[in-house]
């Protein structure tokens, strides 16, 4: 587990919202915190809430000529940069057809070019150190397009492409790269967003008001950093919990049409407090190439383990998302818990098969699946 005590952590966008919450929590964990944003006065207010004397370093992501000097100032003060958290940025609230190209460019300049520019300045230090960690706070808009966020989503998608490539390149230098994709967090990001003409939106979205607190989101992120997670997706909060929902078609329709508002579901749901949930999403082509389901398993258990292990062994990227799973309740069969462990007629057969396949190399797995008769009916 990664520790913060004594480490130098540089946080952009540290004057408010998630960045401020991260700064306060990481400072409390004993790190040397560097606070950056354009708003020096607010940075000073954050510093007053910290233990000791965090380093206040005003920074404008639209001014890349200052990045190298700022980086050297941090190194001069602390001798090292262990963790860079790219949190600074700006959002958008306007339809693409009503958004000027200047606004599109501004969002890209701040969110993409500003972020990667500072990253490159810090990267040279981390390469010399042969260690480091770079965390970039993206958004669910960096995974999926959202209404009124065309340029914002584009800038976040650009971040994803850059940092996933950087992750591969810097593994040899012992530099970790993490991406964070928060959903609705109760900050002023929508209020400070740009309209299509470039003026401040000035209105806080209802989704933002109903979002999780910055402190809660920050704690999720810190937990993910400590566990050295590559990707952290937090749509609605933290915790590997499974919500079982007893609802009708109309409730599901209302839920989908109201920005996935969980309040609509709470009336007929309960928290199962599950330790995990096996929900796996696979690209269709990857699914076929990787052998689909292993029909040599008879019923369930432990086919989920085998599937995840197989695709990872075959070289595909496998991510674990520790978030809410909404399970529409239905009757359970013979293979479902607790029957899966007490009355499953093929339990020994399935576990014997899994223990054999678990030891296979990538080539052995490929050969094994190429010989399966069930694959022929899909070829």
Gap between the Cα atoms of 90 and 10, Å rounded: 19
Q: What domains does the chain contain, in order, with CATH numbers? A: 8-234 (3.40.50.720), 239-379 (no CATH)
Query: Cα separation of 306 and 37, whole Å?
Result: 46
pLDDT recorded at residue 277: 45
pLDDT mean over 225-237: 78
Q: Which two tokens stand for residue 337?
A: 């818990």
152 is catalytic: yes
Lateral strand order in the sheet of 132-137: 55-56, 32-36, 8-12, 83-86, 132-137, 175-182, 231-234
Tell me which of 183 and 21 has the higher pLDDT.
Answer: 21
CA distance 34 to 154: 28
59-95: pLDDT as tens digits: 999 999 999 999 999 999 999 999 999 999 999 999 9
pLDDT higher than 60, residue 309: yes
Residue appearing with tokens 């005590």:
5
pLDDT tens digits, one per residue of 149-188: 999 999 999 999 999 999 999 999 999 999 999 888 999 9
Cα–Cα nearest to 264, from 223, 210, 214, 225: 210
How far is it, in rounded angstroms, from Cα 36 to Cα 15?
7
Helix residue spans in the chain (DSSP H) = 17-28, 40-48, 67-78, 101-107, 115-129, 150-170, 206-209, 214-226, 249-257, 263-266, 284-289, 303-313, 339-342, 347-357, 362-370
Catalytic residue among 55, 78, 152, 236: 152
Taking Cα atoms as reference points, which of 324, 331, 282 lies closest to residue 304? 282
Query: Each residue of 323-363: pLDDT tens digit?
Result: 555 555 555 555 554 455 555 677 778 888 888 888 888 88
């Amino acid at each position: 587990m990664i520790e913060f005590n004594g480490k130098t952590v540089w946080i952009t966008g540290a004057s408010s919202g998630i960045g401020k919450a991260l700064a306060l929590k990481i400072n409390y964990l004993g790190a040397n915190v560097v606070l950056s944003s354009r708003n020096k006065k607010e940075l000073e207010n954050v510093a007053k809430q910290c233990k000791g004397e965090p380093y206040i370093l005003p920074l404008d992501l639209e001014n890349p000529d200052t990045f190298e000097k700022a980086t050297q100032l941090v190194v001069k003060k602390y001798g090292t940069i262990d963790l860079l958290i790219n949190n600074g940025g700006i959002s958008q609230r306007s339809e693409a057809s009503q958004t000027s190209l200047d606004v599109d460019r501004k969002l890209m300049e701040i969110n993409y070019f500003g972020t990667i520019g500072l990253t490159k300045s810090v990267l040279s230090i981390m390469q010399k150190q042969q260690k480091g960690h770079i965390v970039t706070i993206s958004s669910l808009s960096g995974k999926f397009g959202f209404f009124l966020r065309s340029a914002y989503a584009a800038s976040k998608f650009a971040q994803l492409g850059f940092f996933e490539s950087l992750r591969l390149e810097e593994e040899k230098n012992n530099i970790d790269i993490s991406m964070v994709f928060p959903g609705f967090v109760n900050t002023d990001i929508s209020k400070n967003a740009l309209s299509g003409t470039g003026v401040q939106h000035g209105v806080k979205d209802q989704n933002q008001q109903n979002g999780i607190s910055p402190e809660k989101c920050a704690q999720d992120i810190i937990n993910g950093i400590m566990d050295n997670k590559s990707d952290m997706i937090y749509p609605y909060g933290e915790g590997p919990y499974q919500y079982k929902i007893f609802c009708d078609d109309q409730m599901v329709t209302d839920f989908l049409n109201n920005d996935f508002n969980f309040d609509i579901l709470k009336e007929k749901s309960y928290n199962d407090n599950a330790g995990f949930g096996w929900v796996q999403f696979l690209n269709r082509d990857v699914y076929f190439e990787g052998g689909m389901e292993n029909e040599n398993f008879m019923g369930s258990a432990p086919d989920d383990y085998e599937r995840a292990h197989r695709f990872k062994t075959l070289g595909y990227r496998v991510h674990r998302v520790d978030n809410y799973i909404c399970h529409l309740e239905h009757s359970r069969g013979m293979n479902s818990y607790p029957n899966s462990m007490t009355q499953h007629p093929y339990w020994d057969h399935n576990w014997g098969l899994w223990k054999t396949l678990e030891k296979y190399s990538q080539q052995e797995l490929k050969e094994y699946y190429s010989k399966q008769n069930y694959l022929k009916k899909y070829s």
